[in-house]
Amino acid sequence: MNRFFGFLLLMTAAIIWGFAFVAQRRGAAVVDTFTFNGLRFLLGAIALLPVAWWFKTRFKGALIPGVALGVALFTGANLQQHALTWVSAGKAAFLTGFYLVLVPIGLAYFTRRIPWQKLFFASLGLIGLFFLSVNEAFALGEGDGWVISSALFWALHVIMIDRMVEKHDALALAIYQFITTAVLSLVFAAPKLPHYPVADLYSIAPEIVFAGLMSVAVAYTLQIIGQKSVDGTSAAVVLSLETVFAALGGWWLLDEVLTNRQLMGAAIMLLAMILAQLPERQRR
């Protein structure tokens, strides 16, 4: 698979995740964090099983790496979902996007040296994220700390995939991490889940289905496959575009208005993403 195709897969994942913020925020208003994530990750894992059978997925050797990915995913996803009880979709997307800077730093520290250009483009993307999702009166409010904490685990998740994806089957890693996240979430959800009225669960069924099938089964799998040909730092820049689409989704479905400041931020992010994908000679 060439780098351009990997870039397209990561872009598709970013689009899906951006609109998933809307579904997650609606779900947060009805059920607790662990119930929503447990149901959507379980649905995502089940949806991938026939695909894995069709492609004769090689599960051997992927269990431990997949479970490790699942623990990071479980932590990041639930910290983020918990914060959406208070934080708007756009602001949550920005704060989550803090992993854009953490990924190249983590790769440089734990794995290999990262060219300064990658750090520059990641920082440029973070500036775009700031203008897109933070207004002039920005302050760390209730729930913000939860999202910032989740960014640490999203960064860890991207770094782990960067190291594991060349050695193991992408579908096997995806299924193992989804099952791990679903099981851990449902264990914590067990005390509350039986007490929710069926009508409440039915009311957010579209959100669970979208977040389970599209955000989990499709987008996270596209991330793993895409990172086979795109390095972790560039992948973080592309994936951070979920913030652009979260802002669009908030405007379209939650009546959040896009200001000139936010549009400027989206333009800066797009510039950072494009520059990060160009070969060095074309970039000059």
What does the alpha-carbon distance between residue 90 and residue 193 come to, in Å, rounded to a whole number?
28
What does the alpha-carbon distance between residue 192 and residue 170 come to, in Å, rounded to a whole number?
34
pLDDT for 109-129, tens place per residue? 665 566 677 778 778 877 877
Name the residue among 277, 27, 267, 30 with its Cα closest to residue 127.
Answer: 267
Q: What string of DSSP letters covers 202-243?
A: HHTHHHHHIIIIIIIIIIIHHHHHHTTTS-HHHHHHHHTTHH
Give mean pLDDT, residues 238-245.
Answer: 81
Q: What is the number of alpha carbons within 13 Å of residue 45 lying toward its C-beta? A: 19
Q: At residue 282, does pLDDT exceed 60?
A: no
Binned at pLDDT 50, 70 and 90, residue 283 comes out as: very low
pLDDT for the residue 88: 74
pLDDT for the residue 113: 65
Given a contact cutoff of 8 angstroms between Cβ atoms, the answer to whether 176 and 66 are in contact is: yes
pLDDT for the residue 242: 82
pLDDT for 5-48, tens place per residue? 888 999 999 999 888 888 888 888 899 999 999 999 999 999 99
**pTM for the model:** 0.80
Return the domain boundaries, the chain: 3-278
What does the alpha-carbon distance between residue 248 and residue 211 come to, in Å, rounded to a whole number?
17
Give mean pLDDT, residues 216-226.
Answer: 86
Q: At residue 139, does pLDDT exceed 60?
A: no
What does the alpha-carbon distance between residue 210 and residue 23 come to, in Å, rounded to a whole number?
7
